[in-house]
Amino acid sequence: MSSNKKYWKSVEELNENSSIVEALRNNEFVEEIPTNEFLSDAESLSNSSTTRRDFLKYVGFSTAAATLAACEGPVHKSIPYVLQPEQIIPGVADYYATSVFDGFDFANLLVKTREGRPIKIDNNTMPGAKFAANARIHASVLSLYDSMRLKQPKIAGKNATWTDVDAKIKTSLTAAKTSGKQTVLLTSTLASPSTEKLIADFIAKNPNAKHVVYDAVSSSEALDAFETVYGERALVDYDFSKASLIVSVDADFLGDWQGGSYDKGYSQGRIPKNGKMSRHFQLEANMTLSGAAADKRIPMTVANQKQALVKIYNIVTNSSVATDKIENEATVIKAAQQLKAAGRQGLLVSGIQDKNAQMLVLAINQALGSEAFSTVGTRQIRKGSNEKMTQFLADMKAGNVHTLIMSGVNPAYTLSNSAEFVAALKKVSLSVAFSLKEDETASVTTIAAAAPHYLESWNDVSIVKGSYGITQPTIRPLFDTKQFQDALMSWNGTSGTYYDYLKANASAIVSGSSWNKVLHDGIYVGASAPASGGSADFSSAASILVAAKSPAGFELVLYTKTGLGDGQQANNPWLQEFPDPITRVSWDNYVTVSRADAEKLGLENHNVANGGLNGSYATLTVNGKTLDNVPVIIQPGQALGTLGLALGYGKKAALKEAMQVGVNAYSLYNNFNNVQSVSIKKASGEHEFACVQSQKTLMGRGDIIKETTLEIFNTKDAEVWNEQPKVSLDHEEVAATTVDLWAPFDRSVGHHFNLSIDLNACTGCGACVIACHAENNVPVVGKSEVRRSRDMHWLRIDRYYSSEDTFAEDDEKKDNFKGLFGAKGSLGGFGEMEHPNDNPQVAFQPVMCQHCNHAPCETVCPVAATSHSRQGQNHMAYNRCVGTRYCANNCPYKVRRFNWFLYNKNSEFDYHMNDDLGRMVLNPDVNVRSRGVMEKCSMCIQMTQATILSAKRDGRAIKDGEFQTACSNACSSGAMVFGDVNDEISQVKTLSEEERMYHLLEHVGTKPNVFYHVKVRNT
């Protein structure tokens, strides 16, 4: 029988009308302390005889009360649907297959939506969907919710209707015909069969019209070469998985060269199987992702690269074109000889922007009979012509263009002679810019036509010849926008919607399939015939190339950064805060210079008292044009006599002030050539960088990144190249894994999650970093906070340089230290090892919470905010956390982040979380954290639990590969594999038993659930 006794916590509780009692009922743990009456009155405080102990008591209680109040998260009341759509189940995500091409980036995607909001980009894994999202495409979902988008059309800077816009354009098109002047459609590469058909219809109805294709970052020379040899304007879609020997001459194929997306095929050959793996030589000026991954990297100027390419051509094709002597010639000849010996398994690629160089690439691969080189399924993602663009600009200046209609381009920003373009625009009777933003071009045209985001649009794409993908909207247009294609239909007098036109056009392309199936799958792959031809005067091309003169002064090599690319998404805070994989600097572009050249020029980098990185400013002059106050980064591996500078920065129009960073390198992009003769001199002042990694080298700590050579890997036992750490137990040396301070626990019951990371396959691309941002509502903190080491990334990709020629020599040097002082002492030796080699080896290592089974963070938390699950995940209860940061101090991996501020709805952090539109991207399955708590990787527990619940609902077993985290899902190279290690047939279980497997800092005894694979170099 239950008791009817009533208990009181205090005498006051007997008084039902007491306000204190009511307060306690509403907020159990916060005691109202009447300190204001005492502490707020300065006069009474000064006259008080309160003892020091009483004063501290008051302050202590008030601080505790304030702290408890601050730990309460904001309360949000949800509003239910008035009329709920049948297709939407609250709390359940919907996925839509789509394909994207924005003129620079392309991919086959799955778009995750929640309650009608696109919130995350995933990769489409259907057969034929071969192009994965890079970091920029993962971040593009946030650009949909950009509050500075153009929200409606404007005429002469004033808001207008689409009826007025259409009428004005149609009148101008008629006037253009009458005047005999040109109507020009200026677009980026479209790769859309339906759009190209609409443009063809438009030109047929307007004989005075022409279509000019303009790519902000040109690939015209490679297109010209392929067109000369094969009669088709396209690019080769190389299959790196078929190459056992790769020679790259200035082609960053793991970056943005020819659109990128080569990392999956490349990584397949880099994982040692049956004692074999591919070998990679890289000749380049800037340190790139491809150079970082190479087995042998040869830094050299672009002028010397041209000589080297001819030398390789001579050896592979048995030609005898005379060449000049170059540095590292013996290594280049060795690479050429190995390439020739590889034959059909050999591949040469080059990014030199010279038609003759690109013709030699085709000749060499033809001579090899390279299986990785094929003219079937060529890439359709670059079609721009430098020659036609130059002619168009001349026509504009001459006043021959009456009507100019632009879509997907921003020439007022991306042209080196942008001022001339803007001046010539005044001679055009009517100018129209279809644009997401009122950017540099849209702000100076007659009509700024608000265009929808690709996630709001219908379209089709043919990324490679023979493939066909549908772009479908995943949300209704947020603003009063109109697609360029809909406008074309209106001008052509074509009835219906673009959706109807697209569906009718697709029926002729997807023979043997149906519209609904292609829409569901997102991709269709048909047959493709190889390009015809294949012959040209390659010897003449080699002779012309070898005669190219070296520029006076330094060579400036312009490139695109992994974060911003060509600059289309400069207002995306995820990308601005994304650390560059090589320099680890965010929120900036900069000129990179070698250490030796920096010393000659007096340029410096140094760390200041708070750990922030500072650097000199420089003035760059190219062809009489000067770029002032360019920050300087001293870059290991930069070729002597060369400088690097990233495009895509320096934008001002339609950007929040915080995003208006960097300098506009397009102003130096003369004649669409990425190599320019430049003079450089030091400028006054010092720049403050936001660099997330101050340690550059491993300093011989070979237990963090373990690596070996293929020869040792094949000939020695695993205990030699994957040495297990030893500890002392009872005065005997035993394996660290056999010693345990914790009581044993059976982890074989139920699921137990592990994450495998293969250092051979990781290219440092950073797609996982942005995917983690999107999935887990990671806040953007801004340049100032990053500089204070307060970045909030749950996942970081550490980048290490060797201080000697190789990491193996680093280990050898450290092991041979003798004493503290002297030439071989550890004090001076470790000081030397802090500085990278001038041409170092590079290693990338993704690091997140290791989810230790014996987690040191859990034992020191005074409020049990962090704890361990049976499934192997280290949990964080944010409501419990009071921000002591003991866990961060006790973590050997330094993966925990402390919320210094409330980043959500805070005007001090004016990024996407500060406005209603930007917050639409937030994942409702993950808490938005308040200030004062620790946060870190959760191993995407919301994703693993959703998979378990889905299988339980369906009454089925979970298949291998269903369990995913945001990072493993985004990893296109296959470096990250996630799964249940208790599933005996799972891939992660197999990987956990490989000889290459090791744990990070295993000797500490934390027993992580994340494991790595020893990096093997084919040197």
Q: How do residues 889-898 score in pLDDT, each as one tens digit? A: 999 999 999 9
Chain centroid to CA 357? 29
Give the separation between CA 489 and CA 467, rounded to whole angstroms.
Answer: 25
Range of weakest confidence among 12-16, 734-738, 987-991: 12-16
Q: Given a cut of 50, is residue 337 above it in pLDDT?
A: yes
Its pTM stands at: 0.90
Question: Do β-strands 613-622 and 605-607 pair in parallel, antiparallel, or remain unpaired?
Answer: antiparallel
Count Cβ atoms below 10 Å from residue 217 Cβ, excluding itself.
22
Q: Are 699 and 834 in contact (CB under 8 A)?
A: yes
Q: What is the pLDDT of residues 421-455, one digit of tens each?
A: 999 999 999 999 999 999 999 999 999 999 999 99
In this predicted structure, what is the pLDDT of residue 827? 82
Q: How confident is the model at residue 29 (pLDDT cuts 50, 70, 90)?
A: very low
Phi, psi values for residue 600, rounded to 5°: -65, -35
Query: Which residues, other chains included, contact 138 with Cβ-Cβ below 8 Å and sequence gap of 6+?
Result: 121, 767, 770, 771, 774, 970
Partners of 622 in beta bridges: 625
- How far, in Å, are 133, 238, 572, 917 from residue 99 at the CA level? 10, 20, 21, 24
In this predicted structure, what is the pLDDT of residue 66? 46
Phi, psi values for residue 421, rounded to 5°: -65, -45
Share of the chain above pLDDT 70, in %: 92
The interaxial angle of helices 329-342 and 302-317, nearest 10 deg, is 40
Q: How confident is the model at residue 89 (pLDDT cuts 50, 70, 90)?
A: confident
Question: Do β-strands 726-729 and 605-607 pair in parallel, antiparallel, or remain unpaired?
Answer: unpaired
Q: Given a cut of 60, is residue 58 above it in pLDDT?
A: no
Q: How confident is the model at residue 944 (pLDDT cuts 50, 70, 90)?
A: very high
Query: Which residues, other chains included, contact 620 with Cβ-Cβ below 8 Å and sequence gap of 6+?
Result: 556, 591, 626, 627, 630, 643, 645, 668, 678, 679, 680
Q: Given a cut of 90, is residue 535 above it in pLDDT?
A: no
Q: What is the pLDDT of residues 604-620, one digit of tens each?
A: 999 898 888 999 999 99
Give the separation between CA 610 and CA 1009, rounded to whole angstroms.
Answer: 34
Give the separation between CA 105 and CA 219, rounded to whole angstroms.
Answer: 14
Count Cβ atoms below 10 Å from residue 805 Cβ, excluding itself.
13
In this predicted structure, what is the pLDDT of residue 4? 59
Q: Given a cut of 70, is residue 37 above it in pLDDT?
A: no
Closest CA to 347 of 330, 329, 371, 363: 371
1005, two tokens: 């005894």
Q: How confident is the model at residue 301 (pLDDT cuts 50, 70, 90)?
A: very high
Partners of 643 in beta bridges: 556, 593
Mean pLDDT of 370-383: 93
Mean pLDDT of 820-836: 82
Q: What is the pLDDT of residues 542-577, one digit of tens each?
A: 999 998 888 888 999 999 999 999 999 999 999 999
- How far, in Å, are 30, 841, 882, 884 from residue 67 at the CA level? 9, 48, 8, 12
Count Cβ atoms below 10 Å from residue 369 Cβ, excluding itself.
11
Mean pLDDT of 856-863: 93
Q: How many residues does the chain have?
A: 1019
Give the separation between CA 152 and CA 438, rounded to whole angstroms.
Answer: 10
In this predicted structure, what is the pLDDT of residue 815? 86
> DSSP 3-state assignment of 898?
strand
73 vs 632: which has the higher pLDDT: 632
432, two tokens: 């129209």
Q: How confident is the model at residue 20 (pLDDT cuts 50, 70, 90)?
A: low
In this predicted structure, what is the pLDDT of residue 86? 75
617, two tokens: 């400013």
Q: Are 631 and 617 in contact (CB under 8 A)?
A: yes
Q: How confident is the model at residue 19 (pLDDT cuts 50, 70, 90)?
A: low
Q: How confident is the model at residue 678 (pLDDT cuts 50, 70, 90)?
A: very high
In this predicted structure, what is the pLDDT of residue 88? 78
At which residue do the structure tokens 């009071």 appear?
882
576 exposed, middle or buried (CB, 10 Å; 0-12, 13-18, 19+)? buried
Closest CA to 653 of 431, 412, 939: 412
**Residue by residue, what is the 3-state secondary structure of 940-966?**
CHHHHHHHHHHHHHHCCCCCCCCCCCH
- How far, in Å, are 555, 638, 688, 716 from residue 677 at the CA level? 5, 16, 27, 50
Q: Are 631 and 689 in contact (CB under 8 A)?
A: yes
Q: What is the DSSP string of 816-842?
A: T--SSSSTT-HHHHHHHHTSPPSS--E
In this predicted structure, what is the pLDDT of residue 82? 74
Measured distance between the N- and C-terminal CA atoms of the chain, rounded to whole angstroms: 81
Range of weakest confidence among 32-41, 254-263, 741-750: 32-41
Q: What is the pLDDT of residues 450-504, one digit of tens each?
A: 999 999 999 999 999 999 999 999 999 999 999 999 999 999 999 999 999 999 9
Q: Are 595 and 634 in contact (CB under 8 A)?
A: yes
Mean pLDDT of 293-307: 95
- The H or E element containing residue 172 is helix 162-179
In this predicted structure, what is the pLDDT of residue 131? 93
Q: Given a cut of 70, is residue 30 above it in pLDDT?
A: no
839 vs 49: which has the higher pLDDT: 839
- The H or E element containing residue 846 is strand 842-847
> DSSP 3-state assignment of 394?
helix
Count Cβ atoms below 10 Å from residue 10 Cβ, excluding itself.
11
Closest CA to 124 of 135, 132, 113: 132
Mean pLDDT of 253-278: 93
Mean pLDDT of 338-342: 95
Mean pLDDT of 111-134: 93
Range of weakest confidence among 22-36, 212-226, 921-935: 22-36
